[in-house]
């Protein structure tokens, strides 16, 4: 695991964008796995800036959504899909065929996860999987547990995850989510984890140096052959 401590969120965005640009230059058809939420937004803004300036192109790239809250209506602003549309897909002008994601309002969530699993197998493994770090060590919506699912699956959300800022507008946050599994994430050619804020300091320490356990899923990234962690000074403790 390659831990890099940088000054702030802007530095994280710049270095992460450089990695994306490097990959696109080598492979214009690169396959990305992307999360929603606040952590990657500075990066998405920087990628949009570079694309608008003609410095990079996502014309041939493919994207797979990391996870989704289950039970939200499609027009709910809290869905991961709508968050990603607002901050990345729409600004970049991505086409629907470039995108693979979960339907938050699917009638049968297990069938929806099976659909995503088939589509993901057809696309192939991701070239770059972008992740945030949950305070309890969750990756995507893979929550701490005695065992972890490998492929796309329905998961019960922990109490802390249900307090996520994306769900703050809801009187009754969802109890379940749909997410890519740990095997899906670990098959990525490269994993890039973005970590910022003093509140993530303990979780970062456990991810990088703690014992490997399904009860802290992020610790499993220690086994990945090419995992880069970009952390700001507050999270890194410097």
Q: Annotated active-site positions, please? A: 67, 136, 138, 143
- 99, 77, 83, 78: which is closest to 36 by C-alpha? 83
| Contact present, 6 and 233 (Cβ < 8 Å) | yes
Count of C-beta atoms within a 10 Å radius of residue 223: 10
Beta strands in the chain (DSSP E): 2-6, 31-34, 62-65, 67-69, 99-100, 128-131, 153-156, 176-179, 190-195, 227-232
CB within 8 Å of 69: residues ≥ 6 apart: 78, 79, 80, 104, 166, 167, 173, 174, 177
With tokens 């699956």, the residue in question is 153
Nearest of 205, 148, 201, 194 to residue 46 by alpha carbon = 194
DSSP β-bridge partners for residue 131: 193
Angle between helices 41-52 and 9-26 (to 10 degrees): 50
């Amino acid at each position: 695991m390659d831990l890099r401590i940088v000054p702030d969120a802007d530095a994280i965005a710049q270095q992460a964008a450089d990695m994306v640009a490097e990959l696109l230059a080598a492979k214009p058809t690169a396959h990305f796995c992307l999360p929603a939420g606040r952590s990657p937004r500075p990066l998405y803004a920087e990628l949009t800036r570079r694309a608008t300036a003609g410095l990079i192109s996502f014309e041939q790239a493919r994207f797979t959504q990391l996870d989704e809250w289950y039970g939200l209506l499609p027009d709910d602003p809290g869905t991961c899909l709508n968050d990603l549309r607002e901050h990345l897909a729409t600004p970049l002008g991505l086409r629907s065929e470039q995108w693979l994601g979960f339907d938050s309002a699917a009638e049968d969530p297990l069938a929806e996860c099976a659909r995503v699993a088939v589509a993901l197998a057809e696309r192939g493994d991701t070239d770059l999987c972008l992740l945030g770090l949950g305070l309890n060590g969750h990756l995507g919506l893979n929550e701490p547990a005695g065992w972890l699912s490998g492929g796309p699956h329905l998961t019960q959300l922990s109490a802390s995850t249900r307090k996520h800022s994306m769900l703050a507008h809801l009187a009754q946050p969802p109890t379940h989510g749909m997410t890519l599994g740990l095997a899906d994430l670990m098959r990525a050619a490269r994993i890039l984890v973005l970590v910022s804020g003093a509140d993530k300091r303990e979780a970062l320490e456990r991810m990088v140096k703690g014992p490997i356990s399904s009860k802290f899923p992020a610790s499993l990234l220690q086994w990945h052959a090419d995992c880069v962690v970009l952390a700001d000074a507050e999270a890194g403790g410097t």
